[in-house]
Amino acid sequence: MSDAKDKDKRPIIIRKVGGGHGGHHGGAWKVAYADFVTAMMAFFMVMWIMGMDPTTKDSIQGYFQNPVGFKKGFGAGQNPLSSGNALRHEGPRTVAVAPREAQRNRFQETADRIRERIEQDVQLTGLSGNFEITVTNEGMRIEMTDAGSSDAFFALGSAVPRPLAIRAFTIIGEELTRINNPIIIEGHTDAKQYGTVNYTNWELSGDRANAARRLLVTGGIVPNRVLEVRGLADRHLRDPCKPFDAANRRVSILLPYEGPDPTPGGPTPRPLPDCS
């Protein structure tokens, strides 16, 4: 009996076995949260890029096509630390090429549309040869000359545009609204001296360029896109070998590229004419 009573008097010991925390206190949520933050960051970057102007978008596209301006260059030598298969830094030139190529493509498309409209326009029938549109390393240049027509766009010695000039500049202005490049307008004369001491070829060429500016604005060009209006008189003859030729009387519209020039040394200068 005493043994039974002693057993009843023994203290009852309760052992608690420590267990892990519940599954909701684990680390899986951190991975899911990191994925969420990454997705949100990508979303806001896309929204930010969509709000940029086309030139900036082209620059970003060029960056991702060739990240950080690097490319593989395989040079001579056995030392892998010199040139071999090492990455060679190309600087800003590689990034700038992509937007310039995109601008060149837009220039070509715009030039084709202008040519097509001029050729199909009833009022400008027979004057397609008076228009020259070129896309070069400088940008897109549109020239309206008096070649073969003497005074199709402006009367001799006058800065008042004729109806054909009004029609032509209006068409050009409408098409140039499709692109955003800045605009420079130049007026040129031939070597024959017009006017008086107070009104020379300088004033005449400048007034013709300014008349062209007003007509482009009538066609839809935003005024602040015009960077310069230049009157160059006979200082940049189209045909230096024939200084009095009607082709030298012209108005030029230049749309330069936006962004840095990737060509070493910039645009190639025009060669000197050989008039021999």
Which residues 6+ apart lie within 8 Å of 199 measured at CB?
none
- In the sheet with 226-231, reading across from the earlier edge strand, the strands are 131-135, 139-145, 250-256, 183-188, 226-231
DSSP 8-class letter at 271: P
pLDDT of residue 145: 92
CA dist 87 and 211 (Å) reads 53
pTM value is: 0.62
CB 262 within 8 A of CB 237: no
Among 268, 143, 148, residue whose Cα is nearest residue 208: 143
Split the chain (276 residues) into runs of 10 and give each run's mean pLDDT.
58 62 65 86 82 68 56 41 42 54 94 94 86 94 84 88 93 95 96 85 96 94 95 93 91 92 62 67
Among 99, 93, 108, 96, residue whose Cα is nearest residue 53: 99
pLDDT of residue 251: 96
pLDDT of residue 178: 93
CA dist 256 and 105 (Å) reads 14
Which residues 6+ apart lie within 8 Å of 240 measured at CB?
273, 275
CA dist 146 and 110 (Å) reads 23
pLDDT of residue 59: 67
Which residues 6+ apart lie within 8 Å of 192 measured at CB?
244
Long-range contacts of 44-53 (CB under 8 A, 24+ apart): 53/180
Is domain 103-256 classified as CATH 3.90.1150.10?
no
